[in-house]
Amino acid sequence: MRDEPLPPSAPPAPVKKQWRVGTLVYTSGGLVVLFCWLLWGDFTFYMRERSVGPTMTLVLRQLNASGIVVGILMGFLPQALSLLLVPVISYRSDRHRGRWGRRIPFLLAPTPFVFLSMLGLAFGPVLGRWIYQLTGGQLLSENGCAILALGVSWAVYEIAITVSTAVFHGLFNDVVPREVIGRFWALFRVVNLIDGMIFNYFLIGHAEKHYMLIFGGVGVFYAISFTAMCLRVKEGEYPPPPVVTQERTGAWLAIKEYMRDCFTQPFYLWYFAFYALVRWAVQPLSLFMIFFAKSLHMDMALYGKYATAQMAVSLVMAYPTGWLVDKFHALRVSIVSLALYVLATLVAFFLVDDGWSLGVAIVVCGAFAGIAGTAYQPLGLVLLPKMKFAQFNSASTIGSSLGLAAMSPLCGLFFDWIGPDYRYIYLFASVGSLLALLSLLPVYRTFMARGGIKGYVPPEIKSD
C-alpha cells in the first residue's frame, strides 16, 4: 500500500487587525464608523461654538455694549461657570456607571437647554424691546434691556454648554484607541476648521442682520445632530468606581479626594500651568479680534475670507501634524510649534497697522496657532490617568478659568482706557505662549524620566 500524499493545506485566513480600548474592540470598519459618529458630533459641537460666540459679539457691538460688558459676558461668565461646574460634573462622570455609560448621560441631559437658550439669544433684542416698553424706560435704556435679555439667555446657554464640555473629551478618552489618537485629533481639528470656514466664509458677513436665523438654525441643527451622536456611540464596560463607605459619603471627603488626586504631584501642576497659560494667551484674540478688524475699517465679509484662508491652511496642516504627533509624540511637537507661534505673534504686534497687514497676521499667526493646537490638544489624553481622566482634565481648567475670569473684564477695561489700539492682543498672545512653552519643559523632563515615548506611566496618585 503506497502512502498517498496529503492534500495541500489551505493557507491560514488573514487575521483582521483590531484595536482595543478597555472592553471595546474595533475592526477597521468599526473604527471608521466610530470616527464618523464622533466627528459628526464634533462638527455639530463646534459649528455651534464657531457661530454663536462671534455672532453674540457682533450683536453686542450693535447694541453699543462697552468693553467691560463684553469681557464679563463673553469671558468672565463662561470661566466662572467652568470653575464652579466642571470639577463637580467631571468627578461625578468618572464615577458614574449606568446603562448609557459614564459620559453619554452628561452629554444628552443639557442638550435641550442649549436649544432653548439659543432661541432666547435669537429673540433677545425683541425681548429687550418688550421689557423696555413694559417698564416705560424706567429700568434701563432700550439697548440696555436688550443686553439684559441676551445676558440671561447667554447664562443659561453657558451653563448647559459647560456641563457638556466637562465630559466631551472624556468620551474620546474612553472610546478612541491610543494608537490612533494623534490622527483622530487631527481629523477632529479638520472638522473644527471646516466649521469655522463655513461660518466665516458664508455667514459672518450676514450675522449682524440675520443673527436670528443663525442662532435659531444652529440651535435646531445642534439639538438634532448632537443627540444622534450620543445615541449611536456606545461606551464599553468600566471597572467599578472606588468603594464608597458610610464614612466617605460627605461632600468634604469628595473634595479632599479630588484635591489629593490632582494637586499633590508637581508633574500635574506643571501640566495644569501650561494648560492655563496657553488658554490665557489666546483669550484676548478671541474676545477682541473682531473689534480690531472693525477699528481698521475692515468689512466683515473680507474679515471672514481672511479667517477662512487661515483655517484652510490649518486644515491642510492638521493631518500631517497629527501624523507627527503619533510618530514623535504630542509633547515634542507642541514644544516646537509653540516656539514658532511665539515668534509669529511677536512680529505681528510690531508690524500690524492696517487692514492688509492684519489680514496677513490672521492667516500666518492663525496657521501657527492651528498647528500648535493640533499638537497640544491630545496632551491630556496621553499624559493624564485614564480612569480618572475627566477629573484630572477638569482640574486643568481650574487655573485657566480663574485667570480667564479675571483677564477678560480686565482686557475690556484696558481697551476702554487706551482706546482702540488692539495690536496689544498679539503681544498678550506672544508673552502668554512663551510662558506656556517654558512651563511645558518640566513636563517633558518628567515624561522622559517615567518611560518616555514607549513606556510612559503617569505619576502615581497618593492614597490616604
Q: Show me where the domains of the chain are located.
A: 19-234+253-455
Beta bridge partners of 21: 24
DSSP H helical ranges for 15-123: 28-62, 67-71, 77-95, 104-108, 111-122
pLDDT given for residue 15 in this prediction: 59
CA-angle at 336, arms to 333 and 338, nearest 5°: 100
Ordered per-residue pLDDT tens for the chain, 464 residues: 455 555 555 555 555 788 888 889 999 899 999 999 999 999 999 899 889 988 998 899 889 888 788 888 887 888 888 888 888 888 889 889 888 889 999 999 999 999 999 999 999 999 999 999 998 878 888 999 999 999 999 999 999 999 999 899 889 889 998 788 777 877 887 888 788 888 878 888 888 889 999 999 999 999 999 999 999 999 988 888 766 544 444 566 777 887 888 888 899 999 999 988 888 888 788 878 888 898 888 888 898 889 889 888 888 888 888 888 888 888 999 999 999 999 999 999 999 988 899 999 999 998 999 889 888 888 888 888 887 888 888 888 787 777 777 777 777 788 888 877 889 999 989 999 999 999 999 999 999 998 888 888 888 766 54
**To which H or E segment does residue 223 belong?**
helix 211-232
CA distances (Å), origin 283, targets 277, 347, 353, 400: 10, 18, 21, 10
The secondary structure of the chain in percent helix, strand, coil, rounded to multiples of 5, reads 80, 0, 20
CA atoms within 13 A on the CB side of 226: 30
pLDDT of residue 13: 54
How many other CB atoms are found less than 10 A from the CB of residue 64? 11
| Cα–Cα dist 190/40, whole Å | 12
Strand partners, 352: none
Bridge partners (DSSP) of residue 19 are 26
| CATH superfamily to which 19-234+253-455 belongs | MFS general substrate transporter like domains (1.20.1250.20)
| C-alpha R_g of the chain | 24
Helix or strand (DSSP H, E) at 25? strand 24-26
pLDDT tens digit string along 183-192?
787 788 788 8
- pLDDT, residue 162, reads 93
Q: What's the rounded Cα separation, in Å, for the pair 277 and 280?
A: 5
pTM equals 0.71
Q: How far apart are CA 266 and CA 251, in angstroms?
A: 25
